[in-house]
Amino acid sequence: MGEGMGFTAAQAVEAGARYSQLSASVAKGRCERPWRGIYVTCGATWKERLAAAGMAADGVISHRAAARLHGLWGLEDSSVYDLTIPPDRRFSRRGLVVHQSPLDEQDLSTVDGISGVTTLARTVIDLAAVLYGDAYAIAFESAWCLDPNLLDAIERRLEQIGSVGRHGMKRLRALIADARRRERPLESPLEVRFWRRLRRWRVPLPTTGVEVDDGAPTRYRLDFCYPEQKLAIETDGFTWHGSRDRWAADCRKQTRAAAAGYRLMRITPEDLDDHVDAALFTRFIAALGVTALRPTLRWGAQLRWPGPSRPAAPPMPR
């Protein structure tokens, strides 16, 4: 066995090992037994343990585990071991989540060197039973980013296997209908969260992912845009916008948008926290022109004098 590889007790015995030798190997730290009858070499990763579990169960890696292998947003750190086996079989181990459902060859794919993983379309169908709200919508949009033909693939597979009795199918069909109206996926978890907030507010919806050509050598993209109101909205998550180069590019984009006559709102993850939701809604509908805010302006001596927290000036040369 190579570094990090898994095997079952039955495979080891078939290769000539004795159960007492397996126990001794675990005691001496040469291998680990994460589940009864399943062994991995010491230091095995989550992926290697998952592959060993799938092999032992003779099952398919599915649901959240498959989503993590596919690289779907929000599941990058999932530690759930999801497996699917046929309805007429039984397999259970503490720490493994075993689902029972018919699968055939068109549901199977190889991901990151691991065979027996549900396809992207089947994974999205299965996730409807275990993810909810923003988490499921975020996974759905990231899957669509990976495969432009995903919507057709999901609907085709649902037509073949049926959706009656499957959990979450109403939510999945609503996401597909919304996606077809937009014609293009949202491009970050924060965009998904803000889009769902707009729908919850029942306000006019913006155009998403708008490319702007202002005559410069390069074009720029606005996350959300209300062309008639000349309002642009950018979602600024630190993961996507945290580098100095990205920050500088965002500043240039804001300047170019202002030059084109657009007012720009910038939405952060903290803006979508429940305790600031009402304030964000008030500012949003004001920016949209539905209501008007009347701020009070102060300047000059009316303002508090700058304190010593400002950086000290360098000493003057003698």
pTM attached to this predicted model: 0.88
Residues 129 and 240 in one domain: no
pLDDT for the residue 306: 86
Answer whether residue 303 is part of any domain. Answer: no
Query: What integer is the mean pLDDT of 187-193?
Result: 95
pLDDT tens, 195-208? 999 999 999 999 99
pLDDT for the residue 315: 60
pLDDT for the residue 101: 94
pLDDT for the residue 139: 98
Residues 139 and 200 in one domain: no
pLDDT for the residue 237: 76
Residues 259 and 140 in one domain: no
Answer whether residue 107 is part of any domain. Answer: yes
Residues 93 and 157 in one domain: yes
Answer whether residue 302 is part of any domain. Answer: no
Q: How many domains does the chain have?
A: 3
Residue 3 scores a pLDDT above 60: no
pLDDT tens, 65-86? 999 999 999 999 999 999 999 9
pLDDT for the residue 11: 86
Among 143, 168, 185, residue at a domain's last position? 185
Q: Print the domain residue range for 13.
A: 1-44
Among 162, 185, 208, residue at a domain's last position? 185
Residue 4 scores a pLDDT above 50: no
Please provide the DSSP assignment of the chain as one string: --TT-EEEHHHHHHTT--HHHHHHHHHTTSEEEEETTEEEETT--HHHHHHHHHHHHT-EE-HHHHHHHHT-TT-TT---EEEEE-TT-----TTEEEEE----GGGEEEETTEEEEE-HHHHHHHHTTT--HHHHHHHHHHHHHH-TTHHHHHHHHHHHH--TT-TTHHHHHHHHHHHHHH-S---SHHHHHHHHHHHHHTPPPPEEEEEE--SSSS-EEEEEEETTTTEEEEE--HHHH-SHHHHHHHHHHHHHHHHTT-EEEEE-GGGGSGGGHHHHHHHHHHHHTSS--------GGGSPPP-TTSPPPPPPP-
Residues 205 and 284 in one domain: yes
Residues 83 and 149 in one domain: yes
Residues 266 and 206 in one domain: yes
Residues 127 and 65 in one domain: yes
Answer whether residue 181 is part of any domain. Answer: yes
Query: What integer is the mean pLDDT of 179-190?
Result: 96
Residues 134 and 171 in one domain: yes
Answer whether residue 312 is part of any domain. Answer: no
Residues 7 and 67 in one domain: no
Residues 229 and 198 in one domain: yes
pLDDT tens, 225-256? 999 999 999 998 766 656 788 888 888 999 99
Residues 135 and 221 in one domain: no
